[in-house]
Every structure is written in C-alpha cells, then in structure tokens.
Structure 1
Amino acid sequence: MEERKIVACVDRSRYATAVADCASWVSRQINAPVEFLHAIDRHLEQGSGEDHSGAIGFDAQETLLNKLLSSDSEKTKKARDQGRLFLNELRKRALDHGVVQADSRLRHGTLVNCLLELQNETRIAIIGRRGETSEASNRDIGRTFEAAVRALNKPVLGVHDEFKVPARFLFAFDGSAVSKRGVETVLQSQLFKGMKGTLLMCGEKNNSGIKLLEEAAQTLSESGVPTEFSHVQGDVVSQMIQGLEIHQADMLVMGAYTHSPLRKLFFGSKTEDMLRATKVPALLLR
C-alpha cells in the first residue's frame, strides 16, 4: 500500500511559499513524503476585450468558434506550462529544506474536487487561508479554504502568508468527542515532537469539565509533550486569541466540528473573526 502523503495545496498567490515551508516542516516532523498539488480551473477563459456579440453568418460563426477553441487551448497549455514551472520551484525549495521525497501533481478542476479524489492517499492537507481569488476579492478567509475543511475528512493545516516553525501549541479543548480524539491525535502524531502545549477550555466552570481538562493535560505530559491547562470564562473567540498571546503559542489546534460553543469557531461568523485575528498556523482536526 502506498504511503499516505502530505498534500500541499498551492496556487500562484503569495501564500504558496508559506505552504511549501510548512509542508517541509511537517514532512521532517512526521517523516512523510510531500506532494504539491496545483489545481487549474477548467474555466480559464477571461475577457479578451473583443466583442463577439451580434448576428453572424454560418461560415463566420464556424470561424469564430474555431478561433475561440484555439484561444482556449493556448490558454490551457500556457497555464499547464506555468503550473509545471511553479511546482518545480516549490519542489526544489522543499528538497533544499530537508524533505526526502517531494513530488508534484498538476490537476484540472476545483481544488476541493481534486482533494476529495486524493483523500485516501492523504495524511494531512496544508492550505493557505487565502488564495488568488480571495486576494482579488479582498476576502480575509478564502472560500476554497473553507470549502476544503467542510469537505475533507482529514486534518487540514491552514497557514498565513508567512510561516515559522512553531514551538508551542494552544489546543481548544472542550471535553467533546472531537476534543478527545484531538488529544489522541497529538499522542499518536510525531508532528508535536519537541513542542510544548496548553489546553484551553472556555465556558462555565464545572467539576467534570475541569477533571477532563486536567486528565488530558496529564496524559499528554506523560507521553512526552509537556502540556499545561487553563480554564477561562467569556467569549470563546476573544479568550482563544488572548490565550495565544498569554501562553505564547504559535500554533492553534482545534476540532472542525463540535456540539459546543467552539462549533461557532468554524462555519459561522466567528470562524473568520478567529482566523482574521491570528496569523499562526491552525490545525483543524476531524
């Protein structure tokens, strides 16, 4: 069976280098191959400025159709050639950063569909929080990033436009099944080796929640990941943002789906508030 890989999703935005550097770090941590994925939208055509409206004869219509097909073919070929050069540069960067095996894949279609096709081969997907389309529209969080997290049943690591190797993570813990599986992920993954962590629970204090928090932190510490814990009250997003600063964490870990107030951190208005206010990598677990 082929080894599952780190899929680094890249486009021609300024986030590509950060994604490549993050993928290189993850590869060194977990000793897994990297595959750079660049998806080319099938609808490459952009307005040429020519006016093709109006009534035309059959021969003229056929000529115009052939011209348009030829133009589309040229654009597709150009996009493929540029994509290969772009991927080769990122692959070389990863190898220079100590990655043992780095490959590339150029696909046609939407990124989300490509990721779904590769899901069984994927160990973790790394995606820039914004891309070419979101930069053009001034969106803080790209639609592609959000759609990928919704669709994939794999961990997604979202990065900003600059990446530095994290030394400490903040884990948004709420005692739910997702949080407990997240703790198991930390226990089993080499991604967190050499790091320290803080489990942060937000909400009304209760004995059962505090006990779960303490037990989870103790389990992680005993496994070799020194972990503190903290319980705070107040708005979830605000407390998480403050927690990153207070505990000097440079990576956020959280579940993508929960049935607690943390659920609002994803797929709701608070998701963008959280990611807009932070520039640290965010590991979203399923």
Structure 2
Amino acid sequence: NKKVISNSKFQIPNFNADTLKEFKIVFICTPNNLHIKHTLAAARAGCHLFIEKPLSHNLKDIDKLKKIIKAKKLINLIACNLRFHPCLQFVKRYLDSKKIGQVYAIHHEFGYYLPYWRSGIDYTKNYAAKKSTGGGIILDDIHEFDLLFWLNNFKPVKQSKFIYNKISNLKIETEDCCVASFKFSNIIASVRCDYLQQQESRHCKIIGEQGNLEIDLLKNTVYLNNKQGSKNIFALKRKDDNDDYLGQLKYFLNCVNNKKQTFNDISTAQKTLEYIFNR
C-alpha cells in the first residue's frame, strides 16, 4: 500500500479532499497527468495554489479550474523557477530597457542525457518516459518555452512549427528530441531541446538591432557581442541552484500575504500550453 509506505518510510502524512480545508496553501508536486485533478481538489477547498510545471499534460478542465479560482479569489503560481535565475532576470531588464534596440530573434537550447538526469532513479520508470504521465522532452522542458514567451512579453504567436520524434534507443515511449519555431509580429524564435546530450547544454542567444546577447545558464554568464567585440556584462561566480527555488517561493508567499496575483498564474500558463498542444 503506497499510503503505508509513504507514512512509514518518509514520514509523510496522508490527506484527503476534506482535510484540505484545514490549509491555506497547497503545493502540487505530483506527476504531470495528476496536476489538474489535484489542483481542482485544492481549489474547491479554497486553498491558494503553487503548482509545479507544467500546469497539465493537456488542456482538459483548465477553464473549469479558472472559474473556481476566480470565484474564490485564489492566488496561484505555476512554478517556472528559471524566471528567478539571476542571469535571466538581468537579461529581462536589459531587453526591457532597449539596450540592444529592437530584438530580431531569440533562440533557446537545452539538452541533457535522460538516464543521467535524476540520480538514483530508473529513467525508464520515471514520468518523463511515459505518455500516460505527461512525459516527453517538450513538457519536461517547458521552461525554455516559458522563457521565450516571457522574454518577449507574451506577444501573440502568429505562426509555429514543431518537429519532434523519438530518434534514440532510449527505452521511453515519448519524444526525445524537438525543434520548435515561432513567428511573432516582431521576432522569429526557436527552442531546441532533447534527452540526448551526454554533456548538459543550456544557453540562449538573443539577436538585437545593436548587438547580440549570449547567455550560458550553466556558467552563469551573459556576453554582449557587437561591432566593438565581445564583452562579459554579467557573471555570477557562485550560484546555488536552490536560490532560484527560494526566490520563487518567497515571491509566491509574498503574493499570498498581499493578496496579489502572480505573474505566472494559470491563465498565463494556459497560453503556453495552448501554443504547445495546438502544434
């Protein structure tokens, strides 16, 4: 019995829908395919909602959830912790201040080897390997899609194209490689992501009217490249990955305490999912 195991081994108490009414906030950190089911239960109980990304593995019942949230005035956040990464916060301010003029293109890449990603866990049994649990590199890497739309201030997508497949010999049911292209009114953008790279890679290039930004999220650096040459304009010598999560948590709790809706609520996350699922 899983409930007995969670109680005895991990000392995690079990709750049902009725006991949720005792709580002010619920954190949804279950497999992707269970997010909406569990979020609906918590919302009906009147709890503010912190939901691990992605919001869901499909678009079903999101509108139903939004109605409950609106009626009960619930604060909610879809957890995309990279928005709290110091490099990316610097880049967002840099772009918003028009320091490279008009942005022409944004290109994200993220790749890693799935069997190495979660230490001590059999990747073939993890949610990422199965369609039924909302796995696959596209949803697993929704961070890069969220960042793309966020950096471009969620301007409407005019056209998109996804090319994806399972091309490796990994023992998974889901796609392991994807290239997605987007046309906005102002820019062309792309996201490349995969489960295949033996050495993790995570970077972004932003092409602007007055120069390019090169962001390396593993080295925590930002370079400005223009006709004068290449200049390091941001570097973080030491970074604890937990800082992103702590910053995100503090932000959410502050929003709850001040009764202020978050900048990545369910309506915002729904737009990202719609662009992905309507491919």
What range is the shorter-chain TM-score in? under 0.3
Task: Choose between structure 1 and 2: higher strand proportion.
Answer: 2
TM-score (norm 2): 0.24
Bigger radius of gyration among the two: 1
TM-score by length of 1: 0.24
In terms of fraction of residues, the more helix-rich structure is 1
